Structure 1
Amino acid sequence: MVTSVAPRVESLSSSGIQSIPKEYVRTQEELTSITNIFEEEKKAEGPQVPTIDLKDIDSEDKLVREKSREELKEAAVEWGVMHLVNHGIDDDLLERVKKAGEAFFNLPLEEKEKYANDQESGKIAGYGSKLANNASGQLEWEDYFFHLIFPEDKRDMSIWPKSPSDYIKATSEYAKLLRGLATKILSILSLGLGLDEGRLEKEVGGMEELLLQMKINYYPKCPQPELALGVEAHTDVSALTFILHNMVPGLQLFYQGKWVTAKCVPNSIIMHVGDTIEILSNGKYKSILHRGLVNKEKVRISWAVFCEPPKEKIILKPLPEVVSEAEPAIFPPRTFAQHIQHKLFRKTQDALVSK
């Protein structure tokens, strides 16, 4: 049996094609809203993704500390996405992580293929390109590298890139610090719901079970960026998602009925609230719809780390403390695995209906 392998988008991009294959062309409905990302990023008017400064998040001054935490909570309620600055992770380390990931994608294609995943057999870790997983058969303009980076005892080091030489060290250090940042954010979001500060962390698996999965997204130059998407519109299934990027714009958020382009904020980490926290908070914190645009001039790379609860061990449902007669539970109980399946099923159904 021949397994179908999606073509590497990098190969398409470098082949000199002037028009993209039809399976990368988005639906008519989507095409009306795809614009030039560089023009969009320059716009100063309209709503902007909030920037949250974490330097006072643990201030000894109670008023300063509470104001800082309230700002983070408000951004999670209103937007569900934010730029984090003064997040406590050294700029030099962020640069090393980015340099190492970029160097991996700069390797010859045959080198990268040694790390190829096999999605059809369920082996999603490794180097890949998206297979069509919906009835519309559409593809996204990206290649990626995906692997678990924390907890350390659950990592499969055999698929971590050996080249460049700093990849393992830089990514491991980053994973450890990011896990600490996740605890801090979860505790603030917990307190924001009137819960004990450790509650949300416990509900998503705690230090032992919460998995940090890194997906390095590589978006090559696209000859017809007005027809394609790097990543189609979706919400993240995770508890939290943390994103670095190479300062090329591309991320858009669907806010108040319009697509808003995220600015490139130096030394920031973008953070999304995912579906898992939206469910636990009974919709008080938002998991925002977002997508990625591509362009003709520059390669865009982003490093997304998804903080995910264990697939089967925990039942995700609105916490009893945030449910009342006035605000009944708006999500049914599901495991994380069931939530993912539910989303895939709905996406397939929607695609069939729109055909």
Structure 2
Amino acid sequence: MGEIKRIQDVASEASACDTIPAEFVRPEDERPGLTTYKGDLPQVPVIDFSIKDEEKLVAQIYDVSCKWGFFQIVNHEIPDDVVSRLKEVGTTFFELPQEEKELYAKPPGAKSLEGYGTKLQKEVNGIKGWVDHLFHILSPPSAVNYKFWPKNPASYREANEEYTKYMHKVEERLLRYLSRGIGLEENELRTAVGGDDLIYLLKINYYPPCPRPDLALGVPAHTDMSVVTILVPNDVQGLQVFHEGNWIDAQYIPNALVIHIGDQLEILSNGKYKAVLHRTTVNKEKTRLSWPVFMEPPPDMEVGPHPELVTNENPAKYKTKKYGDYVYCKFNKIPQ
């Protein structure tokens, strides 16, 4: 076993005594039991991808990306069974014996995020998240490292490759609309983040049951480093977004795709689009899983405000830097 205790093990010990170890207890201003908004609030926006009027679709996506940085897409044309298989094989992996999962553990000191693991970045005040994870790249083929793809279940690779095939179409459409929304040519944004070299980094989050879901978080509040993140969850509630000063539950919609605007899109749009601050809560009885795919520029690609969006009246609000350097700074809590 690695030197890090897996949350799955912590959870089974904790369930016996109905408490959680002190290193998982959030400060009061972060505890979901105290900070989740309970009143009537606007529902998280839902976009119907089957609308025939493209101008209307562009306008809707622009609006929610500026105001929320977050929305869900329905009628996205990824078949339900393709999404179901993705979830099924990922869930099966996390139900394997611990020794088998450890075969895919992230190598100590590795620069890449790929592999099975628990701790992700510098923990603020040493407080831990209630989550285990598996990372691996889905695309482009030149960046894929199959040693991090589980061999069990046997259909794991096929299910992930099938999902990736459909994901390409959604990502291309989405970036096209986002590009047009800020007044650029439809292919400009995608080109600015690497075009066909855009990296699809899958993360499977596994949040086991937690005896004190009012005190802990699966993942604390953060924005994604990506351009955009496209996520599917299982049916256990847990995703929350920060909107107009409140933590709001994002309602579960079967087979919807959950879209997060990431840091790179905020930077590229020179602040027009907002990277969404979000966090995940955990459940007392049920295991929650989610499958975010982070759409990321290649590490050596420089990303900064798009030149067409920078003027004397609207100067650049962000630095231009290589994506790999951006990631390093964010993980190590170094000001950008």
Report 1:128-147 matches (<5 A): 128-130=117-119, 133-134=122-123, 136-147=125-136
Equivalent position of 2:312 in the other structure: 325
Equivalent position of 2:85 in the other structure: 96
Q: Is the 8 A contact 2:45 2:64 kept in 1?
A: yes
Amino acid at match of 2:327: I
Change in CA separation of 1:348 and 1:14 when aligned onto 2, cut-off 3 Å: farther
Q: Deviations over 1:154-192 (max 9, x none)?
A: 211122111112211010111121122111110111111
Moved more, 218-227 or 316-325: 316-325
The alignment status of 1:193 with 2:182, answered yes or no, reads yes
Equivalent position of 1:296 in the other structure: 284
Q: Is the 8 A contact 1:132 1:138 kept in 2?
A: no
3-state SS, counterpart of residue 319 of structure 2: coil
Q: CA deviation at 1:89?
A: 0.5
Report 1:96-245 matches (<5 A): 96-130=85-119, 133-134=122-123, 136-207=125-196, 209-245=197-233
Equivalent position of 1:14 in the other structure: 12
Equivalent position of 2:331 in the other structure: 344
How well do the aligned residues superpose, as a CA RMSD in angstroms? 1.9
Equivalent position of 2:259 in the other structure: 271
3-state SS, counterpart of residue 11 of structure 1: helix
The alignment status of 1:47 with 2:22, answered yes or no, reads no
Amino acid at match of 1:54: F
Q: Where does the alignment leave 5 or more consecutive residues of structure 1 unmatched?
A: 350-355
Q: Deviations over 1:15-69 (max 9, x none)?
A: 22422112111123212x53598xx7xx68212210000002xx3xxxx221122
3-state SS, counterpart of residue 126 of structure 2: coil
Q: Distance in 2 between matches of 1:67 and 1:98?
A: 32
Equivalent position of 1:258 in the other structure: 246
Amino acid at match of 1:164: P
TM-score by length of 2: 0.94
2:234 to 246, 271, 292: 246
Report 1:82-93 matches (<5 A): 82-93=71-82
TM-score by length of 1: 0.89
Amino acid at match of 1:328: P
3-state SS, counterpart of residue 136 of structure 1: helix
Amino acid at match of 1:251: L
Amino acid at match of 1:282: N
Q: Is the 8 A contact 1:229 1:294 kept in 2?
A: yes
Q: Is the 8 A contact 1:5 1:131 kept in 2?
A: no
Q: Distance in 2 between matches of 1:249 and 1:87?
A: 22
3-state SS, counterpart of residue 34 of structure 1: helix
Q: Distance in 2 between matches of 1:35 and 1:86?
A: 35
3-state SS, counterpart of residue 260 of structure 1: strand
Q: Is the 8 A contact 1:135 1:348 kept in 2?
A: no
Amino acid at match of 1:244: V
Structure 1 stretches of 4+ with a deviation exceeding 4 A read: none
Q: Deviations over 1:60-111 (max 9, x none)?
A: xxxx221122111211111111110011100110001111111111111111
Amino acid at match of 1:49: V
Amino acid at match of 1:79: W
Change in CA separation of 1:117 and 1:286 when aligned onto 2, cut-off 3 Å: same
Equivalent position of 1:352 in the other structure: none
Amino acid at match of 1:155: V
Q: Distance in 2 between matches of 1:151 and 1:34?
A: 41
3-state SS, counterpart of residue 109 of structure 2: helix
Equivalent position of 1:353 in the other structure: none
3-state SS, counterpart of residue 68 of structure 1: helix
Equivalent position of 2:33 in the other structure: 34
Q: Is the 8 A contact 2:242 2:277 kept in 1?
A: yes
Q: Distance in 1 between matches of 2:157 and 2:129?
A: 28
